[in-house]
Amino acid sequence: MSLIFVYGTLKRGCRNHSFLSGQEFIGIAQTGPGFRLFSLGEHPGMVPDPKDARGVVGEVWSVDEACLARLDVLEGLAENIYERKPVILRPPFAAQTVETYFFLQSVEGRPEVGPVWRE
């Protein structure tokens, strides 16, 4: 099992949440500072930004390998749209290894959405 931090359309109540069917919700979480969300149209992209002081709010899920493979396809890892890497979260998750999907392409001209994505 792996812990994954989701911050957009995979969250509970959002349109891609079904990809997490059968997995375990662990809790609401927030990154440490240094991350920003941008609107990419119908979904967000999170990018590192050392100037950010707020971080990003999302959810932590425990997922099995099959689910992780489905998420990797959804997030376009093979196409270099996103990459899955560890992310630093605030307590109570600070000491745990949690991964998330970072957007790899330019966010120039994209609107920032603040720390919480809402559909």
pLDDT tens readout for residues 37-67: 999 999 999 999 998 889 999 999 999 999 9
What is the count of structural domains for the chain? Answer: 1
Per the domain annotation, does 86 fall within a domain? yes
Per the domain annotation, does 32 fall within a domain? yes
**In DSSP terms, which residues pair with 56 in a beta bridge?**
none
Per the domain annotation, does 58 fall within a domain? yes
For residue 78, the domain's CATH number is 3.10.490.10
Per the domain annotation, does 109 fall within a domain? no
Per the domain annotation, does 40 fall within a domain? yes
Residue 13 buriedness (CB in 10 A; 0-12 / 13-18 / 19+): exposed
Return the beta strands (E) in the chain as ranges. Answer: 2-6, 24-30, 35-39, 44-48, 57-63, 82-86, 99-103
Per the domain annotation, does 110 fall within a domain? no
**The model's pTM:** 0.94
pLDDT band, residue 83 (cuts 50/70/90) = very high
Percent of the chain with pLDDT over 70: 100
Q: What is the pLDDT of residues 101-117, one digit of tens each?
A: 999 999 999 999 999 99
pLDDT band, residue 89 (cuts 50/70/90) = very high
Per the domain annotation, does 118 fall within a domain? no
Per the domain annotation, does 112 fall within a domain? no
Q: Which domain holds residue 7?
A: 2-103
Q: Please list the active-site residues.
A: 75
